[in-house]
Chains A and B, each alone.
Chain A
Amino acid sequence: MTEARIKPNPHAGLPGGKRRWPFHLSILLLLMPALLVPNYFRQVALFSGTGGLGERKLGEITIGPWKAQLAEFSVEEPLDQGLAGHIKSFALGLEPESATHVKASYMRVGKPRTLRAAGAIFYGPPYRQLVDLPIPQRTEPGERLWLTMEGWDGSVHQASIALSEASPVTEAWLAKQKGTR
């Protein structure tokens, strides 16, 4: 009669016991969220406003009698939105003395022809508004962003900022796009 040979388990007594790979996989699964947590909190701070107006503050901008803080919401290239083209977000915070006078704010690449075509509208409360600005296909590097504000008294005021100043990432992206066109 032969005796069956039992192979000794080298991992006996260790966590995971005989099968080690699920043990290692579980450690990896625990580490993965820990690696993503900093980015998660950065996103939460950005969207909740606790991290300020946006990722890249542009400072104060004067639009006629009104003042506001402007920021590039997220320092990234314009997002492809399919048929609607590429969209880039900016944030605006009206100063308290201006907030009660401004009815609506708009942004556009290039000078608007009329108030009706003033561009995309800022949405949200006056102290932290966002705009999803379409970047037209024909946009050339060196263009300016035009901010149009309409007051409750019917007055309209405008100001502009160079795209290269407002979003160097977008300016670089445009130069890259032009090269591939």
Chain B
Amino acid sequence: MKAKLKTALMAVLATLAMTAPALAHYPFCTCALRDGSITCTGGFSDGTGAEGVKLDVISYDEEVLIPGKFGADSKVSFKRPDGEFYILFDAGPGHVVEIDWHDIDGVEK
């Protein structure tokens, strides 16, 4: 009986191991304001980091205020610019995340 149970358990585990993993990897980016400095953390939903991915701080009239790139820790920090702006995580065409300045954690709305 024990041997049968073991075989059944092995079969279930083998079936689970053969399940196709999810292939999608969606970009994400979250930003927080602390002591006048904004830190953004980026990455992809499959666990991939954002090292080398572009992150630009852009004014509402489309002027790039701060061009940046994510570091090895998938973070990038910069001083909060004056006025209204948005942050663009840009991992290539169609793989972008936009964060409006009033959606930044810690910014007074």
Binding site for B on A (CB under 8 A): 81-85, 87, 104, 106, 113-114, 116-122, 132, 134, 138
> For the side of the interface on B, what is the size category?
10 to 19
Residues B28 and A84 in contact, CB atoms below 8 Å apart? yes
Please judge, given known A-B contacts A104-B93, A116-B90, A120-B94, whether A85 and B28 are in contact too, CB under 8 Å. Answer: yes
Cβ < 8 Å to A, chain B residues 80-96: 86, 88, 90, 93-96
Hey, what's the 0/1 contact readout for B89-109 against A, CB within 8 Å counting as 1? 010011111100001000000
Residue of B24, B88, B98 with most partner-chain A CB within 10 A: B98
A67–B88 Cα gap in the complex (Å)? Answer: 30
Measured between beta carbons, the chain B residues less than 8 angstroms from A134 are 26, 97
Contacts across chains A and B counted by CB atoms under 8 Å: 46
Residue of A82, A116, A121, A122 with most partner-chain B CB within 10 A: A116
A85–B96 Cα gap in the complex (Å)? Answer: 13
Measured between beta carbons, the chain B residues less than 8 angstroms from A120 are 94-95
Report the minimum CB–CB distance from A130 to chain B (whole Å). 11
Name the one of A81, A106, A122, A138 contacting B26, with C-beta atoms under 8 angstroms. A81
